[in-house]
Amino acid sequence: MKYLVAILCLVQSSWLLAQEYTFGVVPQYEPQKLIEIWQPLLEQVSEQTGVKIKLVTVESIPVFEQAFANGEYDFAYMNPWHSVIAYEKQGYLPLIKDASRKLQGVLVVNKDSGITELSQLEGAEIAFPAPNALGASLLMRVDLAQLYGLTIKPVYVQTHSSVYLNVALNSTKAGGGVLGTLKQQPQNLQDKLNILYRTREISRHPIVAHPNVLPKIQLQVQQAILDIGQSEEHKHLLAGIPIIKPSIATLADYQQLTQWGLRSFYVEN
């Protein structure tokens, strides 16, 4: 019997050792670039934990949404609102977040427009990159509608740059973006814009884990990433993602999005 238990244990441990975990990444960029960013990090994690992790990339956000909704990924990197959805569908739990900064939307207007109050935007056309863009679009629309009771005509112009250009060219009276992309715009464009309003803050993209993954493994991976964040030698592996300062994420960090009423603004594909 002892032997049997020992054999089972061996089998169990060998199974444990032999299992390969999948790691899905939101397709912010093209797959090649995603591999370049993520593969070195995941290899480092595997080396430190002994857990085999396989990077999985997809072509588009809808495919990605479908995949995590089906629970195809053991681990995944996604935006905060996706993490809320993923938790609801499959029970994905946040493991790691970037403690260094938070996500916040900004509303810009043309410097020459003479708009100083949000009330002046009542009924106006406002440019947004896309309906589901979290900081620039979802958070902003939620704030404007729920906090200020404004009715606006959203115009979706695909990219943050287009948003700023629309404002600068007086195509729309205002535009929703995030501070990060605004600062990346050419100086002459930035010079034409004023920030009229900032949304409430939310933690940035978390790394989440499927509930099927053993908690031990989840912890090992979480610890490995935290270690890497601490290690002078390896923290550059996180910079490309970007996660400047990894810390432990909790479900509560992201649940407030549901409370803010984002769901009604989210457009299902």
User: How distant, in Å, are the alpha carbons of 70, 95, 113, 175, 244 from that of 232?
Assistant: 37, 22, 48, 40, 12
- The three-state secondary structure class of 114 is coil
State the nearest-atom distance from the C-beta of 126 to another protein, in Å: 12
Q: Which of 155, 179, 226, 244 binds another protein (CB under 8 A)?
A: 155
Phi and psi torsions of 243, nearest 5°: -125, 110
| Closer CB to another protein, 117 or 191, in the complex | 191
Stretch that binds another protein, among 81-89, 166-174, 221-229, 234-242 (CB under 8 A): 166-174
Considering only residues 73 through 92, tell me which ones interact with another protein, judged by CB under 8 A. Answer: none
Cβ nearer to another protein, comparing 171 with 258: 171
CA distances from 9 to 13, 87, 212 (A): 6, 32, 20
Size of the site for another protein (CB under 8 A): 19
Helix 215-230 with 31-49: angle, nearest 10 deg:
100
Asked if residue 170 binds another protein (CB under 8 A), the reply is: yes
Closest distance to another protein from the beta carbon of 134 (Å): 19
Helix residue ranges per DSSP H, the chain: 2-18, 31-49, 61-70, 80-89, 140-142, 160-168, 179-184, 187-191, 215-230, 236-239, 252-260
Task: List the one residue from 6, 147, 169, 214 that touches another protein (CB under 8 A).
Answer: 169
Position among 57, 113, 132, 166 found at the interface with another protein (CB under 8 A): 166
**What minimum distance in Å lies between the beta carbon of 192 and another protein?**
7
Binding flag, residue 189, another protein (CB under 8 A): yes
Cβ-contact 110, 164 below 8 angstroms: no
Residues 88-127 that bind another protein (CB under 8 A): 127
Q: How far is CA 56 from the centre of its chain?
A: 17
Q: Is 171 in the site for another protein (CB under 8 A)?
A: yes
| Structure token pair of residue 72 | 């195809």
The residues of the shown chain that bind another protein, judged by CB under 8 A, are 127, 155, 157-162, 165-166, 168-172, 186, 188-189, 192
